[in-house]
Amino acid sequence: MTLPLLHLQGSPYRQGVQHGETLRDEIAGNVAVYRSRMLTSGLTEPDLAERSQRYLGLFTREDASYRATMDGIADGSGQSLLDIALLNARYELLYSTWSEFGRPTAEGVRSECTSFGGADGVFASGGTQIGQNWDWFTGVEGALLQWKHGETTVLGFTEAGVAGAKIGINSNGIGLCVNGLGASVDDWKIDSAPFHLRTRRILESASLAEAVGHAVAPRPACSANFFVGSAESGVATVETSPLGSRVIYQTGEAPLVHTNHFRAPEALGVYESWLESGRVSTYHRCERMETLLDKESPLSTERLYAAMRDHDGGPIAVCRHPVETDPVDLQTHTALAVHLELDAQRLSYTWGPPCESEFTTVAI
């Protein structure tokens, strides 16, 4: 199965309208999915309205063009602006709720994202490369967006209705993958640039230094990891939290790997309260991916894809499938597998678990 590819043109508002009209049904589906997940996680309808309104104000304050794109998505899709704000702030709203209420369970939403990457010399095909298995709720709809930011062309994956792509590449040789993190200090009330605005800014960056700067500043409301690559400058993973940030650079011949826990939480003084609900998956996937990618140097694409399709660990494996006995609202799978070649400016992906299909390649 392939994703819709939208070539966005015109003003930010017109780009939003195009997004909204083309993905009208998918956006309606995502609104329903996230409203359900947030209510399941402990929020009430008044909570959702209050928090969505607050984030609408933050998007308006932080970035007028992003807000204009949201307006266009709302008008094009027929959804309320508040529900579009909910989608664009879903990272802060959902992750802070999990930290606040300690939900959901299903053994800690068994799995999320496994990212990897390395500079030129790590991969047999050459150049800087990064990628990930993006594991998330079943039923979430996505698309690929391509747009221009000045002279920079951006190609990235987004969830339908979210104005800022979260995974992708640009014509400056910058690439981005992401990992959800959580800490007890996460607080949706912190006034800061929201996650999806940061990912858009990173994907519009001209250099690794600029991309890292967008990841770490200003202080975020919720913890997150931004796995950033540059054709010119290599690979860095940026762990961020309300208490501070830490940049880890890939060195040597081994790829860098990151999943859904801080590699050294004591370095930032964070307490990962959500790991108490049994999130052993993040540790298993990190160790397993490092082991698999260490079997060959330089690493071939065939070996890489085999690792992305690995099922060791069953329900907590790198390649994830829904556990049918889990509550429907808590079922997850590998929704997207993506391989980004930054020098070649190619994005290869599977929509759904990578064991079920071949990779489709799109180039800038």
Indicate where the chain has its CATH 1.10.439.20 domain(s): 9-101
- pLDDT score at 112: 76
Q: Report whether pLDDT(51) > 50.
A: yes
CA–CA separation, 111 and 261 (whole Å) = 11
Predicted local confidence at residue 162, as pLDDT: 98
Task: Report the CATH fold assignment for 9-101.
Answer: Penicillin Amidohydrolase; domain 1 (1.10.439)
pLDDT tens, position by position, 301-360: 999 999 999 999 999 999 999 998 888 888 899 999 999 999 999 999 999 999 999 999
Judged against a pLDDT cut of 90, whether residue 90 lies above it is answered with: yes
- Looking at every residue in the chain, the average pLDDT score rounds to 94
Residue 106, pLDDT above cutoff 50: no
Instruction: Take residue 68 and report the two structure tokens written for it.
Output: 């204009």
Residues 35-63: what's their mean pLDDT?
Answer: 93
Q: Per-residue pLDDT averaged across 17-24, rounded?
A: 98
Confidence of residue 41 (pLDDT cuts 50, 70, 90): confident
Q: Please spell the DSSP secondary structure of 142-162, one letter per residue.
A: EEEEEEEETTEEEEEEEETT-
Kindly report, as residue ranges, where domains of CATH 3.60.60.10 are found in the chain.
108-363
Whether the per-residue pLDDT at 170 is higher than 70: the answer is yes
Give the domain 108-363 fold.
Penicillin V Acylase; Chain A (3.60.60)
Angstrom distance (rounded) from CA 52 to CA 34: 12
Judged by DSSP in three states, 265 sits in: helix
**Is the pLDDT at 129 greater than 50, yes or no?**
yes
Exposure on the CB side of residue 337, measured as CA atoms within 13 A = 24
Residue 42 pLDDT > 90:
no
The pLDDT value given to residue 278: 58
Question: Which pLDDT belongs to residue 40?
Answer: 84
Has residue 261 got a pLDDT over 90? Answer: yes
| Averaged pLDDT, 80-87 | 98
Question: What is the pLDDT confidence band of residue 276, given thresholds at 50, 70 and 90?
Answer: low
Q: What CA–CA distance (Å, rounded) separates 281 from 274?
A: 12
Lowest-confidence region among 58-67, 246-255, 269-278: 269-278
Query: For position 1, what pLDDT does the model report?
Result: 87
256-258: strand order across its sheet: 256-258, 113-118, 129-137, 332-341, 346-351, 360-363
